Amino acid sequence: MAAAASAPGADAFAGRIAIVTGGGSGIGEALVRALAARGTAVVIADIDRAGAESVASSVTAGGGPVSTAVLDVRDAGAVSALVNEVAAEHGKLDFIFNNAGIAVGGLVEELTLDHWNRVLDVNLRGVVHGVHAAYPLMLRQGHGHIVNTASLAGLVPGPSLAPYAAAKHAVVGLSLSLRAEGASRGVKVSAVCPGFVDTPLLGRVNPDLPQTEIGANAAALARQLGRLYQADALAQDVLRGVQQNKALIVAPRSARVAWRMARYAPGFTMRSIISGVRRQGAQVAAAESAQEAQAAEPSGPAKSP
């Protein structure tokens, strides 16, 4: 049976139940705080027990109830078990935010298959596992909203982010396809596509994987593109987009501009990105040449015998 519509003026999140994967830090943590402040009962699902428990204990009193669950989204059975347990305990599941993810970066020739497999396992299959567990349940109950965290890199070309961009493009495609299937059956689907956000993820690129120069300097490189967006502001954008049932939630404004450019002027966008890659390569080559020249210079004047 479909859920009754909220009364006019009622908060769409009050009294609801949500699971947020990757809720122990970054965007996930901001979503947990925003949802709890709106009166949602939130389950923080994260592979990092300490991080999840820290977030849960710091959520301000008076918000919706918060609980934690240790979850590796690569484990389809564990994801399914959590979804079913939460639905059984609360009698429903209103939202699942498939948000857990990792960052992988570097030139394609530098990356190993371990880089590819890890980002696909977490960022794509982790979302697939959440959808596979929650969507049939939401169909049975006649309502629900699936929110998948993708990225601006899932909408525009992402040089030096090929595996990450591949996974995020797939999440966008999955979300839009599922949205079309679920629309007439009471289940809503949205994909979140933020630009660079100021989260710990930027300092953990290529986690437990061979590091690359781009991965090691990801935070500094991201800041060169402009001021990083704050996770709390993004969380408010996400809840607003969910309440409006947007297919794609793209934020901040600079990300929306980049997305529209890629949609309406794809050739110009690609030429601009290629030009930027060439410029960056030239700058790196110049810096390396300068270092080599400096190293070749004598350390001081020769001494007379």
Give catalytic residues, as residue numbers. Answer: 164
Report the phi/psi class of residue 248: left, alpha or beta, with left for phi > 0 and alpha for psi in -120 to 50. beta
| DSSP classification of residue 154 | G
> Long-range contacts for 233-237 (Cβ within 8 Å, ≥24 apart)?
234/27, 234/30, 234/192, 234/194, 234/197, 235/27, 235/30, 235/31, 235/33, 235/34, 236/34
List the one residue out of 78, 169, 176, 173 whose CA is nearest residue 126: 78
- The tokens for 105 are 């970066």
- Phi first, then psi, for residue 157 (nearest 5°) are -60, 145
